[in-house]
Amino acid sequence: MKPCAQSFLPAIHGGTVGPRLRFVAIVSDRNAPEPIAPVEAVLGEGPVWVERDQALWWVDIKGPAIFRWRDGHVDRWMPPLRIGSLAPARAGGFVGGTERGIRWIDPEQDVYALIVDPEAQLPDNRFNDGKVDRAGRFWAGTMDDRELEATGTLYRLDGDLGCTAVDSGYRVTNGPAFSPDGRVMYHSDSARRTLYAFDLNADGQASNRRVLAHFREEQGYPDGMTVDAEGCLWIAFWDGWCIRRLSPDGEQLDTVQLPVERPTSVAFGGPAFDRLFVTSARVGLNEKALVVQPLAGALFMIQVNARGIPERMFG
């Protein structure tokens, strides 16, 4: 694949991170990460910009909680079960992966209706990250909530509500994300610090899984991700204090440093889709760590010199 264009990136500083890996800052000091919702999420996750609301939605998996940020105001709902991801549905509300299957979710109407639970026989598993592809299908992965066993599976939910297991053997599923043309899907096993790419056909069949990148322990663990209009990946790195931007071939292009150790996921949004929203977590941080990073668990916004792609709705 052709590497992403870099001519629009202001080279504030540069350096090396291992063999062949180059990075430059893509945000100036005046566009540094801004904490816009210091909600102290235990495990903030799943940010998604919903155009019909002109709002950023996200979850706290372990709260549990659902949040909406709109025009500087934050709304919070307390769902009856843990939710790993939300994706807007064409019929209204959301489809989401939860600790007990994939569900229709509308917090404003107190709706959490089961669609399918493909892992009812695995009580220690839960759904983690999820997203809608360019054709309107919902993809979500499961994981062992204890993060011990490789019992995680990546599923695809079609518009007719048929659910298909696509890939298995994951410890901590994260992603997915999709190329602008919808022909490539990206997905990771965070515990193995490995990012995969799949070919994706028009029917949603995934094939040719390959390792796109593997990360060293000191770089952190690849968590939630998104793709910009250039086809480049933006990935949150748990225990990495940063967001990294990779080319479609897996080459690291840029790094955005953050004031928190555990960023969890990213999403483009705003009227021009040039704002990057970043969720983060407090889970596992001791009192000393929280003194150093009091904004852990906040939602951040960064003005970046790149543009995202509007997310498709499910269905």
What positions carry a catalytic annotation? 223
For the chain, the first-to-last Cα distance in angstroms comes to: 29
Q: Give the helix, strand, coil percentages of the chain, each rounded to 5.
A: 5, 50, 45
CA-closest candidate to residue 188, choices 151, 141, 119, 247: 141
Q: Give the span between the Cα atoms of 79 and 51, in whole angstroms.
A: 23
DSSP code for 288: H
**Amino acid letter for position 299:** L
Q: Give the span between the Cα atoms of 177 and 174, in whole angstroms.
A: 9
Q: Are the C-beta atoms of 307 and 268 separated by less than 8 Å?
A: yes
Which residue pairs from 157-163 have beta carbons closer than 8 angstroms and sit at least 24 positions apart in sequence? Answer: 157/95, 157/102, 157/115, 157/116, 157/314, 158/204, 159/314, 159/315, 161/115, 161/116, 163/102, 163/115, 163/116, 163/118
Q: Are the C-beta atoms of 195 and 186 separated by less than 8 Å?
A: yes
